[in-house]
Structure 1
């Protein structure tokens, strides 16, 4: 994991050096200014890989049971409503631990946070496997599996807050959005794998033990790599001016600053609501579609298309924003387009035999909606700087988790039992109408979009601080400049 050597002909866009020549005579209060050179290290890609694997594994554990809720309930001897708690418990666990995780990440650094998160994620995954072993009494199985979900849920805030921090500490300015995108999209990639793999494994083997054993493998691997491979929280030499200055405010002071930041509060509400909508969509998709005759396999395919198109859109959007710095404009356009996809899903999902249309609107909703998540996290840092990256991103996550719980309870409360549904492929005795809930879900997304597009305005404070740092370097160091 050696250093990346800059080419002899120049420097990267984030390296600042002092040109040969006579030094100017500084004033007395300028005598301590020296030329700053920023470096990047190859090991940043390894840390990014570990974080991606950890995020992916944790998300796989989160939604292991959602695509196969009826089969999982039968195997564990519980109802579908109880199976939903295997997803909801992530939110219940993460909310009280989120503040501690945020403080730990901004105070203790990346390494201890990631290692603790990796161990909790592995222990939770192993506990779930133990819970379905044949020697465990049937009456205990759901409780043990739920306990494993609680431990995995405790790991979630430790890893899901980390992308913005990792991008800020280890990556140069022109790679931050891309790095944040890769680490953030690893979480929905885990959701994608769960949507595809759970129905496939459970239908082929019929054994919940095999399913959970397969999902425990990446958790064990991520724990091994994090424990032995991550050796420091920050690089020896910073990659950018903001990393060099390291001016993050203390946790409590940062929270107070955020609560007085109008632009951030608007972002908090709108993006928190957006995270909640995505959570409900992913968790309840199979139940929304089965009543109209769409199978679990098709629901899993729709969930996979939603995530896959979102990842592709995020990759393109991250590259665009890295190049143009148009965070706000990109998000507003995508939110408007995704509102059309979400509204179309609310209509087509309640029609019979519309597989192509349902699949296409899931693609559109993912492409334009899910893709804005990592850019929104970067925007939260830009509008709240110098508050710590984990604090600004973490509060949005907490808001998303709280609203996810409220939305999940609301949507399930709005369902109505159906006396007769001849096309239903839902589990026997679990047939409900989702017509009203899906319309409410689309309305919540459109409302958040309208508020954000109409009222959100902000300055990019971190970028401005970096530009001022570079200008100071040129002023005080006799022509120091950045070679493109």
Structure 2
């Protein structure tokens, strides 16, 4: 822009661009208290998923019900998870809750021949869970906050100020061929994991007499292996960005380890089943967060919460279907062929994963931003 002086001489005038006013932000120490309350709640919530399925033999005997009725205590959890999945997140504390359920429930509730002793053990379990969940409820009501008075960062402030969308992102996601394939394969994998975890006690007891504690330890290895594998895969992905290759490897490993468990159960070797169970846990447990990250990559810039929510909801739907079908197949054709059927599903899932196009949009956006930053430097 120019201005005219008295002598009609044009003088350049610099007009600075408008300065964007940054929102006021603050990081509160109270966030650690809120995180602690959330962890306490999540542990209690996840522990109840397999609380009865992990001692299915005791529950069927004490209450004189079928194993199918016990399976529904797990299925109901998955059904309600679908309803309340949005917004969704994958939380380590949920894994810890499931691990505690696998480990402690068979130890607290023993397979006594005397029903009065079984009743006493169950009462202790119920009183503990009732007390724990009541404490969690009180902490949430008294301490939990929806959000802090001020946002912790500019990014969060802008996200809070944005108008939320729901229908439009869903339409875009379901028009994405890669995401549709991932949604199918993710559902197959996690659905089988949920079903196998639910029926683990019943499967192990077919080969190991009084093996409920052993079944619990195998389930614990599923979870511990999954947590270790998740951290390891996170490091690998951070360095290599090989999302599809990592996902494909984990899928194939899950199929192979489930096939191994199928035949190693008949060997009645505790060590062999422990090893195969650990590998199964590493592959399946690692696939859960890796699949979510892969979904975030191929659907960027859609919200990761929406993408993760759809994938997790789908896995709960297939978990319900596979649990019902798996239990039925065990009764009709036996555990070996039922397991083989699940392995075939995982093999199919591996093949479908192989044809997903690794369009890493989020990585491309990050690289473009870095290049632009370098170009803007003097």
TM bin, normalised by shorter chain, reads: 0.7 to 0.9
* 2:248 corresponding residue in structure 1: 332
Match of 1:51 among 38, 58, 64: 38
**Contact between 1:251 and 1:388, CA under 8 Å: does it hold in 2?**
no
Q: In 1, Cα distance between the equivalents of 2:38 and 2:359?
A: 30
CA RMSD across the alignment: 3.3
Show the 5 A alignment for 1:279-318. 279-294=194-209, 295-318=211-234
Is residue 370 of structure 1 aligned with residue 277 of structure 2?
no
Q: Deviations over 1:166-203 (max 9, x none)?
A: xxxxxxxxxxxxxxxxx2x3222222111111111111
Is residue 255 of structure 1 aligned with residue 156 of structure 2?
no
* Bigger Cα Rg: 2
Is residue 162 of structure 1 aligned with residue 89 of structure 2?
yes
Q: In 2, Cα distance between the equivalents of 1:449 and 1:388?
A: 26
Match of 1:223 among 117, 137, 145: 137
Q: In 2, Cα distance between the equivalents of 1:382 and 1:356?
A: 39
**Contact between 1:241 and 1:470, CA under 8 Å: does it hold in 2?**
no
Match of 2:305 among 379, 384, 390: 390
Q: Which moved more, 1:288-297 or 1:299-308?
A: 288-297
Q: In 2, Cα distance between the equivalents of 1:472 and 1:237?
A: 28
Is residue 67 of structure 1 aligned with residue 67 of structure 2?
no
Q: In 1, Cα distance between the equivalents of 2:200 and 2:314?
A: 22
* 1:429 corresponding residue in structure 2: none
Match of 2:68 among 57, 72, 81: 81
Q: In 1, Cα distance between the equivalents of 2:249 and 2:124?
A: 43
Q: In 1, Cα distance between the equivalents of 2:219 and 2:320?
A: 20
Q: Pick closer, same or farther for the CA change 1:45–1:304 going to 2, 3 Å.
A: same
* 1:436 corresponding residue in structure 2: 337
Match of 1:90 among 72, 77, 81: 77
Q: Pick closer, same or farther for the CA change 1:38–1:310 going to 2, 3 Å.
A: farther
**Contact between 2:188 and 2:315, CA under 8 Å: does it hold in 1?**
yes
Question: Which residues of structure 2 form unaligned runs of 5+?
Answer: 1-12
Q: Pick closer, same or farther for the CA change 1:48–1:373 going to 2, 3 Å.
A: farther
How high is the TM-score relative to the length of structure 1?
Answer: 0.65
**Contact between 1:346 and 1:442, CA under 8 Å: does it hold in 2?**
no
Q: In 1, Cα distance between the equivalents of 2:179 and 2:48?
A: 31
* 2:275 corresponding residue in structure 1: 360
**Contact between 1:67 and 1:286, CA under 8 Å: does it hold in 2?**
yes
Q: Pick closer, same or farther for the CA change 1:240–1:470 going to 2, 3 Å.
A: farther
Q: In 1, Cα distance between the equivalents of 2:51 and 2:59?
A: 9
Shift of 1:314: 1.4
How high is the TM-score relative to the length of structure 2?
Answer: 0.81
Q: Deviations over 1:139-166 (max 9, x none)?
A: xxxxxxxxxxxxxxxxxxxxxx134xxx
Match of 2:356 among 434, 437, 455: 455
Q: In 1, Cα distance between the equivalents of 2:29 and 2:243?
A: 27
Shift of 1:33: 4.5
Q: In 2, Cα distance between the equivalents of 1:313 and 1:26?
A: 58
**Contact between 1:248 and 1:387, CA under 8 Å: does it hold in 2?**
no
**Contact between 1:242 and 1:465, CA under 8 Å: does it hold in 2?**
no
Shift of 1:283: 0.3
Question: Which residues of structure 1 form unaligned runs of 5+?
Answer: 1-24, 106-160, 164-182, 418-431, 480-484
Q: In 1, Cα distance between the equivalents of 2:255 and 2:188?
A: 13
**Contact between 1:282 and 1:303, CA under 8 Å: does it hold in 2?**
yes
Aligned residues: 357
Q: Pick closer, same or farther for the CA change 1:394–1:287 going to 2, 3 Å.
A: same
Q: Which moved more, 1:57-66 or 1:401-410?
A: 401-410
Q: In 2, Cα distance between the equivalents of 1:320 and 1:341?
A: 21
* 2:7 corresponding residue in structure 1: none
Q: Pick closer, same or farther for the CA change 1:214–1:234 going to 2, 3 Å.
A: same
Q: In 1, Cα distance between the equivalents of 2:147 and 2:97?
A: 25
